[in-house]
Chains A and B, each alone.
Chain A
Amino acid sequence: MTDLAGGTAVADPMLEALRELTGRTNADFRPDQREAIEALVERRERVLVVQRTGWGKSAVYFLATHLLREQGLGPTLLISPLLALMRNQIEAAERLGLRCMTVNSSSKTTVNELSNRLQSDSVDLVLVSPERLANPDFAQQAMPLLGSRPGLVVIDEVHCISDWGHDFRPDYRRIGRLISNFGDGNVPVLGCTATANSRVVEDVANQLGTDITTYRGTLNRDGLALSAVKLSQQAERLAWLAEQLGSMPGSGIIYCLTIRDVDNVSSWLKRQGHDVEGYSGATINEDREVLEHRLKTNDLKALVATSALGMGYDKPDLGFVIHFQMPGSPVAYYQQVGRAGRALDDSRALLLCGKEDVNIQDYFIDQAFPDPVDIDAVLAVLDEAAGPVSLRDIASQVDVKWAKIELALKQLDVEGVVRRVKGQSYERTLAAWAYPHDRIQSVTDARRFEQQLMFDYAETTGCRMRFLTDLLDDDLGQGCGICDNCRNEFIQPSTSTQLIAAAEAFLRNRPLMIEPKKQGIPVGERNQEGRTLAHWGDSGWGPLVQQGRRDGHFADELVGALVEMITEWAPSPAPTWVAAVPSERTGALVPSLAQRVAEALAIAYVPLVERAEQRPPQVEMQNSPHQAANVAGAFTLGEPPLSGPVLLIDDLVDSGWTLNEIGRMMSRSGSGPVFPVVLALALGRRA
């Protein structure tokens, strides 16, 4: 639109609003943006936009909100799992004069405040996480207010609504039902996703109402060069990263599948002189903000992250995305690499495949749905209860892990089988219910299929971009011309045997902290923070620990490693003696290990802990109350402890309750502070 000198400019309120929103006077709409806004505002349609990351979906819903509010309609409800990552967008919305309120687990806004603002009509945009939608306060207070006078409903990452999506979330399931109660059933709805194939689009459309207009852009990412290589051993991948990270364009993200891997990769790269930081679900909110900002301003070479840094993170000049391990689905993979280089001419996405990938993926697939046995156990408790039962009480009555109890309850809540009452308590409703075996089986099969597709992606000799866009039902027509297969240029493994050996040694020396249990144990009887040398399944020390348990004798190397770890750690006050956890199954294995460690440290070994009676191994107990109950009374002291600080040695730690119970007994009997030392962490090891 050009102003004619002295003439009248053609009024285009939508474009003016866009320019205000973006703060750029020359901003213009991207393809489909204006059409989507018009469909929502002028025709009150239900709209699904399937557009690649960076297309500008937030401009659509902010402008639509702005225009609908000008027409006197109610506020917009935006449901997104990514609110914590939306700070920048919210600032932009406020430039447009939109009054936003966020209700999620990290915001301080209460449902009461929100209700008041809704009643006084002084909020334009309510941002809520899907989890909060399920919160009884929100459902009972805010939802009716919103639903009675809706302007627009926006469902971000709408593929989460579909069982078939790679990222299905139980909390999303109720959204379809919710919006059928909004307005007179004709509230405009906007669903957004960057990643959905035809099957998911169809499923989403079914759940949002039949008349849905879809705006689908091309998903091809110009200038994004894809490549993949199989490097089975973690050490090979670490060596490769150490060598190649510096040559990557700009700043980027290195994705790992687990928090432990994030820690390993980021520590290793730091040691190798790279400017990286770790970012995962374990990172506290304030740190996340700082880290996101540092990456955004290219103040870091890379963030090493789990998928916690994911959808919604906005950095148009992201230079590269490297996957240290293979994600479970090509759609998830596309979504993560799709963040790279939107505003750059050249960017890179590299997939490093390891041999541990499939195990981790299997774990995620198995964990995605609650096990029918767990569901039955949890439901049995609620079925027999006269009134609400707290999460803690449920946990004490079933031998199911906390996380699995929570997953089961969430599933049951969404299905209307249980209802959450005030706090963390649940009550069985009057609805009859049977476990949906068929639905869950078909979704699990779909996940297995995706997993296979990801392996196919890694091994394909065809164009990789075409492989991905085909899966998303977007026909590229021809090769991208820049992936490794198109260019016939492949990632070369590191040839530095020295660097690989250093990476192996690094992985072997990654002691883990053992946090003392606090629950139910008086302060004076708690253990100190302890150390474990390895994970049971780690490629570092794991195999030697496993072999030692098979042979009935731990190798000298392990004793040496323990001594080195203790020396480097230097617990304070310095331990003056060593005790061991006796085990019926492994005989003298642990006492002999403890004795050898004591000798090497030149302190006393006192064989005072004795087993009172045979119990099932801790690994067979699934949650804390059960583990604590199993341990209590299982051990006795054959003689009084020495009064100095002590190292308490065991070969494996499962729940930690054994160490805590023995430590507590020794403290009560007059020992000094107790420092647990363990060879391997066996958490989640299959019995």
Chain B
Amino acid sequence: MSSDTHLAALLLSNQLTRLDVAPLKAREFWGLVDRTDALGINVGALLTDATVRAQVAQGDVSEKRLTGLLDATRAFAFEIERLSEGGITLLSALDERFPVLLRDRMQHGCPPHLFAAGATDVLLLRRLAIVTDAIDDAIEPIVRQAVAAAVVAGWATVVGAPGQSGNGDGQAIDAVVLDESGACRSTPIVVAADGINRAARSPDVRKLVQQQALCLVSPFVPDTTASAATARARDAVVHAMADRTLVVACADGTGPTWATALASVEHEPASVLSFTGTGSRPGNAALVGMGAVDIDHIDTLHNHLH
């Protein structure tokens, strides 16, 4: 894809600069991409070609709105420059490094761009997401073994970071994954429920990013504060960007881990690996019952990473 394509894509969903027109929502963005594809038009052409804009404009996505968004090139460039000075990259959904799976799985709900910092190259690897309701003495070794299995298989691990709101979901799993990854000298991907600047406020996380020992990813503008809604969106991204998701401990029929895993099982049962050994919860078995892959012993995990 040309750089024009990326730029146009980023401009269409640009939330970094203040504009008179609203940036396209994910659904609007992908609807537009579909229309350009159908017409055999490159999205990059929208930057310069007014007739193309007129052709693809539809409903709320008016030609005026498109023009307002696409003409903010320079203003936008300043923001990109500022971000990249501070170590943050903006990946458009049409960028090679953008996880294809995320696009394929989330379809019109896929975020049109991701903010990323640190070792963004690991986004090109195959990925194992690790999710759990809680971390306790039984669960922690399972998580550590899962990280090790991924490293041996040459996969990257994906984990959600708790937001500043601290509503408990996924709390501390990122710390365990980071710790074990450090021990294995591997580079995990951490998906934040807040903006990247906020997610990197912890000195430990920030240093790992600076040392390229971590890839920090967020769909939200860098200074966003986490909320219940952003936490849900983060969970969806964690699942969707991973080739496989290991559900370590999951309550039955309740909680965010269940909700997201359930959605994944319904769409693509083979992508969900549910741990049913010691320390697992009732929800794990329930997921297997609905079609998720049964991991009754963590030693068997590596069989599914290929």
Question: Which residue numbers of A lie inside 8 Å of B, CB to CB?
Answer: 139-141, 143-145, 147-150, 177-178, 181-184, 383-387, 416, 419, 427-433
Contact = CB atoms under 8 A, between A and B. Distances in A.
A147 B74 contact: yes
Contacts of A385: 203
Contacts of B76: 144
Contact of B82 (A139, A387, A428): A139
A458 B74 CA distance: 50
Contacts of B71: 148
Given A430-B86, A430-B117, A144 B72 contact: yes
Given A428-B206, A430-B200, A178 B78 contact: yes
B87 A432 contact: yes
Contact of B210 (A181, A184, A419, A431): A431
B196 interface: yes
Contact of A147 (B77, B117, B203, B206): B77
A144 B86 contact: no
Nearest to B81: A181
B206 A383 contact: yes
Given A144-B78, A181-B77, A430 B201 contact: no
25 contacts: A139-B78, A143-B78, A144-B18, A144-B72, A147-B74, A147-B77, A148-B71, A148-B74, A178-B81, A181-B74, A181-B77, A181-B78, A182-B74, A416-B85, A416-B86, A427-B197, A427-B201, A429-B85, A430-B87, A430-B88, A430-B117, A430-B196, A430-B209, A430-B210, A432-B212
A385 B203 CA distance: 6
Interface residues of B, number: 32
A145 B81 contact: no
Interface in B183-227: 196-197, 200-203, 206-207, 209-212, 216
A307 to B, nearest CB: 31
Interface in B69-116: 71-79, 81-82, 85-88
A353 to B, nearest CB: 44
A182 B74 CA distance: 6
Contacts of B62: none
Given A428-B206, A430-B118, 14 more contacts: A143-B78, A144-B17, A144-B76, A147-B74, A147-B78, A149-B74, A150-B74, A181-B74, A386-B202, A416-B85, A428-B203, A429-B86, A431-B86, A431-B87
Contacts of A178: 78, 81
Nearest to B196: A430
Contacts of B88: 430
Contacts of B207: 383
Interface of B: 17-18, 71-79, 81-82, 85-88, 117-118, 196-197, 200-203, 206-207, 209-212, 216
Contact of B75 (A148, A384, A419): A148
Q: Which 10 A-B pairs have the closest CB atoms?
A: A144-B75, A430-B87, A416-B85, A429-B86, A431-B87, A147-B74, A181-B77, A432-B210, A148-B75, A148-B74
A428 B205 CA distance: 12
A492 B78 CA distance: 58
Nearest to B77: A181
Contacts of A145: 75
B200 A383 contact: no
Nearest to A418: B86
Contacts of B78: 139, 143-144, 147, 178, 181
A178 B82 CA distance: 10
Nearest to B199: A430
A139 B81 CA distance: 11
Nearest to A388: B201
B224 to A, nearest CB: 15
A383 B79 contact: no
Contacts of B85: 416, 429, 431
A329 to B, nearest CB: 31
Given A144-B79, A386-B201, A430-B196, A419 B86 contact: yes
A384 B196 CA distance: 17
Given A387-B201, A416-B85, A430 B17 contact: no
A591 B237 CA distance: 75
Contacts of A428: 203, 206
A123 to B, nearest CB: 17
Interface-central residue, B74, B202, B210, by most chain A CB under 10 Å: B74
A396 B196 CA distance: 28
Given A430-B118, A430-B206, A431-B86, A148 B211 contact: no
A148 B73 contact: yes
A177 B196 contact: no
A387 B206 CA distance: 11
A149 B74 CA distance: 8
